Homo-oligomer: A and B are copies of this chain.
Amino acid sequence: MRSNRVTAADIARATGLSRATVGFVLNNTPGQTISEATRQRVLRVAKDLGYHPHPAARTLARGRSNIVVLLLPDWPLGYSLGRNLDEASQALDAHGLTLITQTIRPRTSAHPLWEAVLPDVVMGLLAFPAEEVRRMRAAGVRAVIPDGSDGQFRVDQLTFTDGPAMQVEHLLTRGAQRLVWAQPGDPRLASLAQERYATARRRAEELGHTLETVIVGTDRPMTEPLVVPRAGERVGVAAFDDEMAARVVGSAVRAGIAVPDQLAVIGHDDTPIAALFVPALTTVRIDVSGLGKLMAALAVHSVLGNPMPAVGPEARAQLIVRESS
């Protein structure tokens, strides 16, 4: 049962020093004065022995795991977010924190991750249900972001709401007489889709238009057009994302409907498919440069109590006009 793991005690033994001194050197403990000779000796022996501090022991002693868990929804996450995660991971690492991401799928994860690793912070892109926040806290998680408290930062609001309004504006600029929203049938996307739809609809109504809805199922054959313009009518379709847009455009092209003259379509997310498609899809790119850094800063702030830097994600929706509108 005895493991062959090298512990700080082994180093103490090998150097003839106490565990405490070894600890001070290894942690660069402030407020301690260690002679350079001793310091070097400890570091040398630690290296020779191949010492690795035991994370669990450290966590226990410090009362902090230095782990940050980021819970991601089961969405098709764009390229931009991927880069932001890298950014966040790097920024956290610089403070000795480790980022662990987990994708939350509907009926998966019997045992929540935060009970298995006890992170200092659990972050998410959407607000957590109050009940879940309570459970995390009860399990010992110190900070939950966002935690639903008043005035709290909500990533989703910054990130995902400008786009649909831009879609609607763009379609009207292009002379659309009828507006249709292409909604995904996938229930996993329901909540996000609702938010986007609401934004699009609000903007449409502000501009004196109504917004019809068509549900785009995944199983439906592509041979049948999803949206059919009446004779001489210009229809504009705002799609939940590029895949929905591709389905609308694809089915229209096959049915001989002229895109974009009869049917103008705009997608969302600027996924690779948008640029590749024939005709290339007009879309909205959400650029959240700085989101990763902001998330990292929030986490560092709540763990180490660092002052919150005035970073902010510059979430901006950008119109990418191509051939489908």
Partner-B contacts on A (CB < 8 A): 1, 3, 5, 50, 52, 54-57, 59-60, 63, 65-67, 86, 89-90, 93-94, 96, 98, 100-102, 105, 108-111, 113, 115-118, 138-140, 222, 243, 246-247, 250, 253-254, 272-273, 275-278, 280
A268 to chain B, nearest CB (A): 15
A67 contacts which of B60, B117, B254 (Cβ < 8 Å)?
A: B117
Chain B, residue nearest A114 (CB): B55
21 contacts between A and B (CB under 8 A): A3-B63, A5-B140, A50-B138, A52-B139, A54-B60, A54-B140, A55-B115, A55-B118, A56-B56, A56-B59, A96-B111, A98-B116, A98-B117, A100-B102, A100-B117, A101-B102, A222-B276, A222-B280, A243-B272, A247-B276, A250-B278
Chain B, residue nearest A61 (CB): B56
Chain B residues near A139 (CB-CB < 8 A): 52
Chain B residues near A102 (CB-CB < 8 A): 100-101
Q: How distant is the Cα of A276 from the Cα of B279 in the complex, in angstroms?
A: 12
A103 to chain B, nearest CB (A): 8
B108–A89 CB distance below 8 A: yes
B117–A117 CB distance below 8 A: yes
A118 contacts which of B56, B140, B246 (Cβ < 8 Å)?
A: B56
Chain B, residue nearest A53 (CB): B115
Q: How distant is the Cα of A133 from the Cα of B121 in the complex, in angstroms?
A: 30
Given contacts A113-B100, A273-B273, contact A118 B54 (CB under 8 A): yes
Nearest 6 pairs of A and B residues by beta carbon: A56-B59, A98-B116, A246-B276, A56-B56, A56-B60, A93-B110
Chain B residues near A56 (CB-CB < 8 A): 55-57, 59-60, 65, 118
Chain B, residue nearest A55 (CB): B118
A243 to chain B, nearest CB (A): 6
A116–B55 CB distance below 8 A: yes
Chain B residues near A94 (CB-CB < 8 A): 110
Q: How distant is the Cα of A115 from the Cα of B51 in the complex, in angstroms?
A: 12
A254–B278 CB distance below 8 A: yes
A110 contacts which of B90, B116, B247, B278 (Cβ < 8 Å)?
A: B90
Given contacts A98-B116, A111-B93, A275-B222, contact A1 B280 (CB under 8 A): no
